[in-house]
Structure 1
Amino acid sequence: MSFSRRYGYKPVKDIIQLESMNDELKARLWNAFQNCYLPERRLGFISLALDSLPGRILDAFFKQPVDNTASWDSHYSELKKQFLNCSWYEVYDFIEFVARNLSEYESVNKAGDFREICNEILEEENSAYRFIGAHVTKITSKIEIEAIEKAISQSRYDVVSVHLNQALTLLADKEKPDYRNSIKESISAVESLCKKIVGEEKATLGQALKKVEQKYELHPALREAFSKMYGYTSDEDGIRHALMEMDSLRYEDALYMLITCSAFMNYLIEKSKL
């Protein structure tokens, strides 16, 4: 994790790739396509089943003229060039096209496998999109990303921003993401803010929320919901709730908690006028 990400100097929108795509993500999606649909090229030969694939994609997707007398390598090179010149949204169009329209090549690799591999890459590279069925679907909105950025930037208390930045760092770490502790940090940010609002550093989140409820007319349902979230993540030994003991905690779980806690903190800051 780079210095700029660890300390919150890189905007959230540059960490979670929403309306952009860095070269690393684009290259890995190309590799996924090549490994799934053109594996024989690496062995130095091309089967008849794959002979027309580059030309077909150049024609049907990129709408480029295809010379039937050109070599396979020529079509392949042109296909790769066209792909690498794609804008971020055209790359998502491309992988959708591949997954949905190359059924005759499924003897080489099932489209479902390609989608699964793409989803692994999209998660590892912190893309805001995933395959759901045959469609690439947004799982994080611009509004949600702005909520995280606002919560990090507007708090007057460094400790709150530290917790949120750490939650984002643990979530976005490409080498060793820690979703469980990212969730803990998101909740800890809410806890720290509530303690500051009520002026009681030793209060638990539940105790602080009760006082916020009384002082600022916080809806009881919100107070109860976040008290339960705190119970999921905190005890004297750390994580305790069954949800947090699951081995299957994923990127989307930690992202949901980060977004939810950020939005709630923005709400509390407005309520209390910090």
Structure 2
Amino acid sequence: MTFIPFSQRNGYVEVSTVIIRETLTTPIMNSIQNLFTELWNKYTLPLSIFEKLTAEFGRYYLNSRIEGNQHKMINPIHYMDYDDLEWYEKLDVIEWCLDYLYKHLNSDEIHKLDCGIIDLNKEFERHRYGYRLVKGTFIETTSNQEIGSIEHAISIANGNVQIHLRQALQSISPSNQTPDFRNSIKESISAVGSFLRENFGGQTLGDALNNMQKKRPNLLHRFIVQAIEKLYTYTNQSNTGIRHELLSHDYLPDHSDAIFMLVQSAS
């Protein structure tokens, strides 16, 4: 049961219900910093990986010199506290660090990292932050069930399917000042196409669906198959500019369209 203090229960302090977006408050930033602290002392990730992360961050993110080990002198966790960084630039740093860890940890260590991110997302919810982390990428708030389906799909996907899903996520990350909703939708439906073609063959998503229905006629209900076909058709429309050139501006996909397509494709 969530603790509600006396001052709020009795109306002495007004409870804020505003979702926080496009900023990083001190409590939210502290929660992020606490995650990185706990990765080493609670989840026991090796300190050696943090030393390597710091060196790579200095050399390839900050483009510092290696002479005199200058590239090892700035801790990325402390770098996020710099006042002259915009909120989205701080999110960039967080995503870069988490992406590095996902690429360099073993499977057991990745499981610990996932647990840490679950705890951080709970803190985001507690502080009414408008974003959540999914496999190291920020995404605008959606339901826990939807986040779970995206995380699960990325975790079990292989090769091109995982690449498409990750790119769909990154295209709409709040760290992007110009999120690419059309590309996110294209990558989402491409993940579905890659999955179907890898398992059932064919040159297109449509071919793969036809092959699936011949080989496994009872695998999916016919209305679900029709829904996939209609979503694919939607991405080919001339007024969306998703899979083909944009020929009109009467309809432009937005964040809700991109989230919907990503969740459906992950499911």
* TM-score band, normalised by shorter chain: 0.3 to 0.5
With a CA cutoff of 8 Å and minimum separation of 6, indicate the structure with the bigger relative contact order: 1
**Structure whose alpha-carbon radius of gyration is higher:** 1
TM-score when normalising by structure 2: 0.47
